[in-house]
């Protein structure tokens, strides 16, 4: 075998130009490191690996600077990443390959140290889908996702493998799969088409994993009623449900836009608002899409309308906003909609009024604005938390709620009140000053009796978004996956929608 010393000698013999650059004295170890050894060994000499699995072959007896030449007898069986201290190999398909190595730049030969590498096929032992029970909203653009883990017999996770996906009842829910790039695992994407329950199966040969998928009603964001037997709730995909005192039934809304709030007067006229500048009007048993006059942000972007309240059907306020334009307030006078405020504050979330001269709206960053019948002015809230809901018993007794916070207005200033534990709140309503309810995340319901707040058992862990009642003993709370709760003055019970 030729050593580094031999290569230097050859270079010097080929050109006299070597003289000023390299010393041709054979004692050149300090400049180029130690010379290559005459012999090296590989560790191990016999190795078994699996398809797609890496392993390392070490070089023993080599100096730090000596190059090692490698040879792979079959690159279709495995790949090799070469180095002077060793090589990293990775199985590509079932078979046997011989890896040989030699010190220096000479190609390995029959006398060089070798390692026999056997590559075995990978077998799928089990498939795990998570979560094992998944909830999907019916007819929603949002697609739920099942994560997949594929294990071999020793519990090692595969990154990807060609799976076959099926749904037990494709008319209820379908599964769409994605393999993703080579460094990500594939997943099952579920879309629900009809209320019901299905089993989703992912299979590889005779091995399979399953998950239960429940297709549930739409998330409900707003609720309002005229009497105990005339209540409406609105939500995702233009969903509107009506309660006649006996059961909830779905109504045709004429839109697929998500509806976020609803308000109505004592004469039975209702207004529902939502995404994409959507405003619906209900009269004589029919919902119609209203023309809001093409009102948009200054940049032309569509708004999300989050809250609606009116002093009458000819004096209605709608609040919302967009990321680009900020908050917006529009007003309906019985004939047309006009801009009142635009881009003056952050996105507005809710609105409530005690009269035509006492109207409050709340929103992002703790913003509160007040309308006195002539103009809107900013109020100091004392918080930077987003305020999601507002309700009052009187103009001098108003509550605003948000994430972990309730603030009270006494006619002069807003002050924070003490909750019964931390709560992420979304909606607030009361029948009197000493009977107020606030609802929020994880099914939380807080109750105010005039002196302090206390927690109530809701019987659900679904997020609750809004609340309304005809009296303190007849209250409705609505939330995710078609959740509707009713309070009869004693306890909360779940209601079903059709």
Q: Locate the domains of the chain by residue range.
A: 1-35, 37-120, 124-198, 220-495
Which whole number is the average pLDDT over 379-393? 95
CATH 2.60.40.1080 fits domain 37-120: yes
Which whole number is the average pLDDT over 78-90? 94
Which whole number is the average pLDDT over 55-73? 91
Residue 257 has pLDDT above 90, yes or no: yes
Q: Which residue has the tokens 């039934």?
A: 249
Residue 300 has pLDDT above 50, yes or no: no
For 237-254, what is each residue's pLDDT tens digit? Answer: 999 999 999 999 999 999
Residue 28 has pLDDT above 50, yes or no: no
CATH 2.40.40.20 fits domain 220-495: no
Q: Which residue has the tokens 């009458």?
A: 312
**pLDDT in the model for residue 343:** 64
Question: 3-state DSSP call for residue 203?
Answer: strand
Confidence of residue 47 (pLDDT cuts 50, 70, 90): very high
Query: Whole-model pTM?
Result: 0.77
**pLDDT in the model for residue 38:** 85
Handedness of CA 61, 86, 92, 112 (dihedral sign): negative
DSSP string across 51-104: BT-EEEEEEES--TT--EEEEES-TTTEEEEE-SSEEEEEE-SSEEEEEEEEES
Instruction: List the one residue out of 2, 8, 6 whose CA is nearest residue 24.
Output: 8
Tokens for 2, please give them.
């030729």
Mean predicted lDDT score pLDDT of the chain: 87
Beta carbons within 10 angstroms of residue 83's beta carbon? 15
DSSP state of 22: S
Confidence of residue 50 (pLDDT cuts 50, 70, 90): confident
Handedness of CA 65, 67, 72, 73 (dihedral sign): negative
């Amino acid at each position: 075998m030729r050593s580094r010393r031999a290569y230097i000698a050859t270079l010097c013999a080929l050109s006299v130009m070597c003289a000023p650059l390299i010393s041709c004295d054979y004692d050149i170890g300090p400049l180029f490191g130690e010379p290559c050894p005459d012999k090296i060994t590989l560790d191990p000499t016999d190795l078994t690996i699996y398809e797609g699995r890496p392993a390392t072959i070490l070089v023993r007896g080599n100096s730090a600077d000596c190059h090692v030449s490698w040879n792979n007898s079959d690159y279709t069986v495995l790949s090799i990443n070469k180095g002077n201290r060793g090589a990293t190999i990775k199985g590509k398909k079932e078979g046997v390959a011989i890896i040989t190595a030699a010190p220096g730049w000479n190609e390995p030969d029959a006398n060089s140290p070798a390692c026999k590498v056997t590559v075995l096929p990978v077998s799928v032992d089990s498939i795990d889908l998570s979560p094992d029970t998944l909830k999907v909203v019916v007819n929603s653009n949002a697609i739920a996702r099942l994560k997949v883990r594929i294990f071999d017999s020793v519990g090692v996770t595969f990154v990807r493998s060609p799976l076959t996906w099926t749904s037990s009842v494709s008319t209820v829910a379908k599964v769409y799969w994605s393999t993703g790039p080579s460094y990500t695992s594939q997943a099952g994407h579920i879309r629900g088409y009809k209320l019901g329950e299905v089993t989703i199966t992912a299979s590889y040969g005779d091995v399979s994993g399953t998950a239960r998928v429940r297709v549930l009603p739409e998330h409900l964001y707003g609720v309002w009623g005229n009497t105990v037997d005339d209540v409406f709730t609105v939500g995702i995909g233009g969903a509107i449900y009506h309660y006649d005192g006996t059961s909830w039934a779905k109504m045709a809304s004429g839109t697929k836009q998500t509806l976020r709030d609803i308000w109505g007067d004592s004469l039975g006229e209702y207004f529902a608002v939502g995404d994409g500048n959507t405003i619906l009007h209900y009269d004589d048993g029919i919902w119609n899409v209203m023309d809001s006059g093409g009102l948009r942000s200054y940049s032309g972007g569509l708004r999300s309308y989050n809250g609606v309240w009116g002093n009458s059907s000819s004096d209605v306020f709608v609040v919302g906003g967009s990321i680009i334009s900020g908050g917006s307030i529009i007003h309906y006078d019985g004939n047309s909609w006009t801009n009142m405020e635009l881009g003056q504050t952050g996105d507005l979330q809710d609105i409530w009024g005690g009269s035509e001269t006492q109207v409050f709206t709340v929103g992002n960053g703790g913003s509160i604005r007040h309308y006195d019948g002539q103009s809107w002015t900013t109020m100091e809230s004392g918080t930077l938390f987003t305020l999601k809901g507002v309700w009052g018993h009187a103009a001098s007794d108003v509550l605003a709620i948000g994430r972990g916070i309730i603030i009270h207005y006494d006619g002069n200033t807003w002050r924070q009140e003490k909750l019964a534990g931390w709560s992420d709140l979304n909606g607030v309503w009361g029948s009197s000053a000493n009977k107020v309810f606030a609802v929020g995340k994880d099914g939380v319901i807080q109750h105010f009796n005039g002196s302090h707040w206390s927690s109530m058992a809701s019987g659900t862990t679904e997020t609750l978004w809004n609340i309304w009642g005809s009296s303190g003993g007849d209250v409705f709370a609505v939330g995710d996956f078609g959740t509707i709760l009713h309070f009869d003055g004693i306890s909360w019970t779940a209601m079903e929608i059709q």
